[in-house]
Homo-oligomer: A and B are copies of this chain.
């Protein structure tokens, strides 16, 4: 069933039917109702491709999944962010499209997505330091939003981010206040912008307290469970092991916990742990009492906000740049306690 057929049934012109369905004023209320009834009855759905071709808009927003962020992995954070975004997209009549691209052609992927006219805007996830994609998108004039920021990029761009530096500064200070001095940081991949900011916060807190950082206590890699376990086990074998561990994700915090268990150490008593908690639906930080002391910020909520900001940008391409900085909340759970007395 297409427009032509429907208009023929109604004995109206395609013009009128189109206008009736799209809410234009130059059609009488009576015919509008008649048209809507017929459309519903025959299950008419305007062809998205034809509509897109005629309007120049696709009502689709694109995301690019790097086929391998190192080891062909998919971050579970991704799922919650996307769930938040897609919900808002739906509210505004947008669909969401994914393209896959290997790391080398990731810029190409964005370019093709937009220049083919497949999408009206794109979301850039997981920016690195000096992220080259930002300038590419900027030059292409495609509406986009960055989830995160990128140190070193000079062009202006819309972004939404959590205050990584201040939240890790605060978490580190919290541990210092508890008397900890040997504080480890199990961070994300080094070239990720968020990882650097978190490290900056961590280092600044140490500096303010006059504690000199120990490279042996600073680790970075993709934040899996196995990674959290491995690094923790490794650091516990040091002559002067950490009494507290700061980790960039709940998933690796679970690995940290496992390593502590294996070593017969009690979390919160022998070793304190603070995690960054993205408030994932399937991995809540406990029910009423938090399992981990954590810096918490819902990535799902970030997804919703990102979607809204992008849709605004699509509507008003020449508005001034918009940015949004979310503050993470510090929730105190049972995984932290005073530094153990080592004498």
Interface residues of A (CB under 8 A from B): 43, 45-50, 52-53, 58, 60, 65, 67, 71-76, 78-80, 82-83, 86-87, 89-90, 95-101, 111-112, 115-118, 223-226, 230, 251, 254, 258, 261, 280-284, 286-287, 291, 300
The listed residue (B230, B251, B282) touching A73 by CB distance below 8 A is B282
Dominant secondary structure at the A interface: mixed
Please tell me if the beta carbons of B97 and A96 are within 8 angstroms of each other in the complex: yes
What is the distance, in angstroms, from A304's C-beta to the closest C-beta of chain B?
Answer: 11
What is the distance, in angstroms, from A335's C-beta to the closest C-beta of chain B?
Answer: 12
Given contacts A79-B75, A98-B82, A98-B96, contact A287 B67 (CB under 8 A): no
What is the distance, in angstroms, from A88's C-beta to the closest C-beta of chain B?
Answer: 9
Please tell me if the beta carbons of B225 and A282 are within 8 angstroms of each other in the complex: yes
Please tell me if the beta carbons of B79 and A283 are within 8 angstroms of each other in the complex: no
Complex alpha-carbon distance, A280 and B251, angstroms: 12
A45: which B residues are within 8 A, CB to CB? 111-112, 115-116
Please tell me if the beta carbons of B281 and A224 are within 8 angstroms of each other in the complex: yes
Complex alpha-carbon distance, A79 and B98, angstroms: 12
Please tell me if the beta carbons of A98 and B98 are within 8 angstroms of each other in the complex: yes
Complex alpha-carbon distance, A45 and B118, angstroms: 11
- Apart from A71-B281, A97-B98, A225-B284, list 12 A-B contacts with CB within 8 A: A45-B111, A45-B116, A47-B53, A65-B82, A74-B80, A76-B79, A76-B280, A76-B282, A82-B98, A86-B99, A95-B97, A225-B282
What is the distance, in angstroms, from A125's C-beta to the closest C-beta of chain B?
Answer: 12
A280: which B residues are within 8 A, CB to CB? 76
Please tell me if the beta carbons of B76 and A98 are within 8 angstroms of each other in the complex: no
What is the distance, in angstroms, from A126's C-beta to the closest C-beta of chain B?
Answer: 14
What is the distance, in angstroms, from A191's C-beta to the closest C-beta of chain B?
Answer: 18
Please tell me if the beta carbons of A116 and B48 are within 8 angstroms of each other in the complex: yes
A and B contact pairs by CB, cutoff 8 A, 6 listed: A49-B50, A65-B82, A65-B86, A74-B282, A76-B283, A226-B284
Complex alpha-carbon distance, A296 and B311, angstroms: 41
A90: which B residues are within 8 A, CB to CB? 67, 99-101
